[in-house]
Structure 1
Amino acid sequence: MPWTAIKARLRRLLPEPDTLAQNRWLRWLGPALHHPRLWHMSRRGIALGAAIGVFFGFLIPLAQIPVSAAFAVALRANVPTAVASTLVTNPITFPPVYYAAWKVGGAILGEAGPAPGRAQAEPPPAEASGNWLQRTWASLQRVGKPLVLGLAIFACGFGLLVYLLVHLGWRAQVRFKRWRRTRAAAR
């Protein structure tokens, strides 16, 4: 499917800015939603929107979509791309991504412990005598630092990677089109 057909199909699927401005949940954004860069399919807007979405998709587990949309509006990135790219973490990818982030963070911090949720061979006496809430809180504290560090690394690294890949892919596509046109004109 040619790129122009894909762009036309995406434009048909996207809501009109006027429709969004009349939405009661988005009305507070007012004129900010009418900025043309938020809806234009440009290399910079798409790349920045995808990077913002991936960044917040990895960084925060809840409210990814509104936060990425707000940052896309503030940075004048493509809003639909920012919202769609938050789906990099979804109910299917959530467990492996968070486990990998925990492992990466633990490796960097030098903390090698049992995986979250797995029972230790012999629990320490202080945890055994505490109630369920205290044990859960202690487990979250043990997992928290490596997980947050790993998620921050994933968010920054994959956000930058997506930004660069979109830019390079867009440039390659433009050069290929130009090459095809000059080749066709030479015949």
Structure 2
Amino acid sequence: MPRKFIRRFLPDHQKIREQRALAVFGTLLHDANLWHLNRRSAAGAFGIGLFFAFWPVPFQMWLAAALAIPCRVNLPLSVATVWITNPLTMPPMFYGAYLVGVFALGEEIQSFAFELSWDWVVQSISTIGPAFLVGCGICAIVAGLAGYFGMNLLWRWSVVRHWNKRRAQRKSASSDS
């Protein structure tokens, strides 16, 4: 079942509550629904995490936590899902978002060479920035919805498969006796 698989990778909720970075949320972290792992909370957390994964801002985890709390979905899963964007995956994901934005705005693809400087960032905001931000928005919405509905379907499929397996075991046990 997805619950057992997901639970293996999630940190202990007591350790998360003690994190200084999450002290901003105060006693809101004591809501038991933030730590439960069921179909509704996992699907919502996965959708929130994938939504914020495409936001090109620092502190994506805080944003995911800030939305997971009022939505009362699994907090550790929503924060962990944001890490789909990491230093290895970020360049292809954000370049893909740029291409989506170019397509959505009907613009031409502009060639650019990445430089790790503030001047490059300021200059890029006016040239490739609009297409990049529109693409990130579109990808965030699509990924969030796909994550929510995909996790929902995966969870249901797993439960039905487990029921069918149990039914077959009962049937074979009753036919053996």
TM-score, normalised with respect to structure 1 = 0.80
Number of the residue aligned with 1:6: 5
Number of the residue aligned with 1:44: 40
Number of the residue aligned with 2:13: 16
Number of the residue aligned with 1:126: none
Number of the residue aligned with 1:122: none
Summarize the Cα distance change of 1:182–1:34 in structure 2 as closer, same or farther, 3 Å threshold.
same
Cα displacement (A) at 1:180: 0.9
Deviations 1:94-153 (A, max 9, x none): 1111111111111221110422228xxxxxxxxxxxxx94x7634321111100010001
Summarize the Cα distance change of 1:8–1:74 in structure 2 as closer, same or farther, 3 Å threshold.
closer
Task: Name the aligned partner's letter for residue 136 of structure 2.
Answer: L
Cα displacement (A) at 1:162: 0.8
Number of the residue aligned with 1:128: none
Map 1:76-87 → 2, pairs under 5 A: 76-87=72-83
Cα displacement (A) at 1:51: 0.8
Cα displacement (A) at 1:3: 5.5
Summarize the Cα distance change of 1:91–1:40 in structure 2 as closer, same or farther, 3 Å threshold.
same
Corresponding position: 1:114 with 2:110: yes
Moved over 6 A (4+): none
Task: Name the aligned partner's letter for residue 67 of structure 1.
Answer: L
Query: Hey, what's the Cα distance between the residues in 1 that align with 2:104 and 2:37?
Result: 39
Number of the residue aligned with 1:158: 143
Corresponding position: 1:142 with 2:127: yes
Q: How well do the aligned residues superpose, as a CA RMSD in angstroms?
A: 2.3
TM-score, normalised with respect to structure 2 = 0.84
Task: Name the aligned partner's letter for residue 29 of structure 2.
Answer: L
- How many percent of aligned residue pairs carry the same amino acid? 32
User: Which of these two proteins has the greater Rg computed from alpha carbons?
Assistant: 1
8 Å CA contact 2:49–2:82 kept in 1: the answer is yes
Gaps (5+ residues) in structure 1?
Answer: 119-131
Corresponding position: 1:73 with 2:69: yes
Q: Please, which moves more after superposition, 152-161 or 105-114?
A: 105-114
Aligned length: 169
Choose between structure 1 and 2 for higher RCO, CA contacts under 8 A separated by at least 6 residues. 2
Task: Name the aligned partner's letter for residue 15 of structure 1.
Answer: D
Cα displacement (A) at 1:15: 2.4
